[in-house]
A and B are shown apart, each in its own frame.
Chain A
Amino acid sequence: MNHLLILPILLPAVIAPLLAMAVRNDIVLARVFSSAATFGLVIIGCMMVWTASDGQIRIYELGAWKAPYGIVLVLDRLSAIMVLLTACLATVVQLYSMAGWDTRGNHFYSLFHVLLMGVNGAFLTGDLFNLFVFFELLLIASYGLMVHGGGPTRFKAGLQYISINLVGSVIFLMGLGTIYSVTGTLNMAHFAERISQVPESDQALMAVGASLLLVVFSLKAALVPLHFWMPATYSNAPPPVAALFSIMSKVGVYAMIRFSDLSLLQQGGPFSALGTQLLVPCAVLTLIIGSIGVLAARSLSQQASFVGLASIGTILISFGMFTPESQAAGLYYMLHSTLAVATLFLLIDLVIVRRPGAGDGFDPQPFPQQGYLSALFFVGALFVIGLPPSSGFLGKLQILHSLRSTSEWPMLWGTILVASFVTLLGFAQTGSLVFWKSSAASKTDPHSPGENPHNELPVPDSSAKALPLAMPSVAIGVAWSLLILLMVFPGPVMSYLEATTEQLFDPQRYISAVLKPAGASEL
């Protein structure tokens, strides 16, 4: 057994209580430990991708119980790349939080690592019920992070977020119960093996269970019509937390891919129609609503939430087509959009704290360090919209290319291109209102900055409000250098991702790796 497989779960599990108990009164120590652990996760993620890139599927039997009786962790290419993505995003958020967000409430880093443990666990587990447990784990941590810093609307939005997720958990358990009653197993590989043997009389029950699971995953991924919680949650969460949440919606997407390819919706399987007839139309609607939302948003953070929604739509369109090419392109776009959307939330936070009067809204108000932040926002928007030469452009291009073989391509091309254009319009509007117009206002009226009745501290001039930018710049720089790596080296990344989808489209390999591990005959 390769103990590397459990490290991404074990490391946060050890560090989280340490941070909560041992170093809770010393923010410097907490930052040091948390950064070290996050950096350790990046190294583990790289090692996992390296290990998985030989194409072998590795399993880790917890307590040495054989699958399907015990719980197994499974490392294949998809899990490895998702763990690495989580670690990279965590690094960005970690660096950014050190600029000050971590001191606005208690136990920020502790919850942060519990969340990472849940996300990594969900990516690695090979057991359905264990997936539920890791989902709950990451949700519990996210409830705490969601209200980090406090505030009335944050608590209300948090309450709504908890309620919707608890209902989601109930539906998840209903799906699990139904599936268990039909197949008699909760191990994913065992389940995939048995799904083709479900008797005719139980097919309807199986379809109900499968649909319930898909509903839950859609809820986590914020697929229309289950997306209503997402803009309210993301725009009310503290911005670094919202950035971290952008991996959480990807957990839903991951679970959907894993299930679809492994068992539920596989080509020619009994339930393949569920995916193509439902998933793609919903994804198209998600993209449309997301891009209209970008245009209609009334605040910067709402706009960022809706652009996140639109990116989920794009990803799921490419997954819903169920060809290896389109899924590889979708994975590439997912890597890009997770980092790009997260960075956008961080950029918006930098702008909001410098505009005490206008805050999150679009009212033109001059603010300090405007030139630098405008440039950052411009580049960030470029990445998020997917304009050339950014990695988003490459991702969308690949998605469009892979869709050409399908019969619906004119409609899908039209939707993706028009949605990109509408997103561009929305960000152009933001740019002109928040950055351009406000700089014009500062020229005509030099005394307007700093006039703020709500602020207790009297601010004499704009330079006094200038806040340190070094740490946030480093965080955003890390995210962008990762995006630029994606942009400069699409070849190696795509060849890895193509091998990933090849692995995903051969569920038999997954099943035999889990149920008949090498050397099992000797035992």
Chain B
Amino acid sequence: MELLLASAIGVFTAAGVYLVLRPRTFSVVMGLSFLTYAINFFLVSAGRLAVNMPDILAKGKELGDYADPVPPALVLTSIVISFGMTAIMVVMGVRGYFENDSDHVNITATEEMIARSRE
């Protein structure tokens, strides 16, 4: 269980970091999505791994016998936020592509000069 989760977080993070560093918008968006997946798993593990445990205190259970309810709440918030962020990122990427005729993330020197002369 620990190995599975840890390696999942590691693989997602590695893929995310690699893709974020790519020059094109699409890979950057994918990379950020991978990073948010990694972070969601990581937050789950922050409350310690627990299998077959109730989420809240229940009668007849020892006080130690329940899963931490806070990390799932954090994960939920983080999923919602990252979903919204990805949507914004895609919109900006598409808009940037139409404005620039290129989906490269870098601003080249010529583009900067053109922009300055247009101001």
Contacts and interface: CB of A to CB of B under 8 A. Distances in A.
B66 interface: no
A157 interface: yes
A363 to B, nearest CB: 10
A359 B85 contact: no
Contacts, number: 121
Nearest to A232: B107
Contacts of A159: 25, 28, 89, 92-93, 96, 105
Interface string B12-27: 0000000010000100
A236 B114 CA distance: 13
B100 A152 contact: yes
B88 A140 contact: yes
Contact of A151 (B45, B85, B92, B99): B99
Contacts of B85: 136, 140, 162, 166, 169
Interface stretch (A172-180, A380-388, A509-517): A172-180
B78 A162 contact: no
Nearest to A181: B46
A274 interface: no
B92 A176 contact: no
Nearest to A180: B46
Nearest to B119: A359
A440 to B, nearest CB: 23
B54 interface: no
A232 to B, nearest CB: 7
A352 interface: yes
A150 B99 contact: yes
B67 to A, nearest CB: 13
A39 interface: no
A32 B45 CA distance: 49
Contact of B117 (A133, A160, A454): A454
A153 B88 CA distance: 17
Interface string B85-101: 10011001101100110
A232 B46 CA distance: 36
B46 A140 contact: no
B111 interface: yes
Contacts of B71: 177, 180
Contacts of A177: 39, 42-43, 45-46, 71, 74
Interface residues of A, number: 41
Contacts of B116: 299, 359-361
A151 B115 contact: yes
The B interface, classified by DSSP as helix, strand, loop or mixed, is helix
Contacts of B107: 153, 156-157, 160, 232
Contacts of A95: none
Contacts of B114: 152-153
A162 B88 contact: yes
Given A140-B88, A177-B42, A360-B119, A156 B100 contact: yes
A167 B38 CA distance: 12
A170 B35 contact: yes
Contacts of B95: 147, 155
A33 interface: no
A133 B77 contact: yes
Chain B contact-residue range equals: 35 or more
Contacts of A140: 84-85, 88
Contacts of B47: 180-181
B70 interface: yes
Interface in B33-92: 35-36, 38-39, 42-43, 45-48, 70-71, 74, 77-78, 81-82, 84-85, 88-89, 92
Interface in A125-169: 129, 133, 136, 140, 143, 147, 150-160, 162-163, 166-167, 169
A173 B39 contact: yes
Contacts of B78: 173
A133 B73 CA distance: 13
A253 interface: no
A283 interface: no
Interface in A87-138: 129, 133, 136
A5 B46 CA distance: 31
B92 A153 contact: no
A163 B117 contact: no
Contact of B112 (A153, A160, A163, A166): A153
Nearest to B100: A152
Nearest to A186: B70
A151 B118 contact: yes
A246 to B, nearest CB: 21
A129 B77 contact: yes
Contact of A152 (B38, B88, B105, B115): B115
Contacts of B89: 159, 162-163, 166
Nearest to A151: B115
Contact of A147 (B45, B92, B106): B92
Contacts of B105: 156, 159-160, 163
A173 B36 CA distance: 9
Contacts of A181: 45-48
B118 to A, nearest CB: 6
Nearest to B107: A156
Interface string A343-374: 00000000010001101110000000000000
13 contacts: A129-B77, A133-B77, A136-B85, A140-B85, A155-B96, A159-B25, A166-B89, A176-B43, A176-B74, A177-B39, A178-B46, A359-B116, A454-B117
Interface of B: 20, 25, 28, 32, 35-36, 38-39, 42-43, 45-48, 70-71, 74, 77-78, 81-82, 84-85, 88-89, 92-93, 95-96, 99-100, 105-107, 111-112, 114-119
Closest 3 A/B residue pairs (Cβ): A359-B119, A155-B96, A177-B46
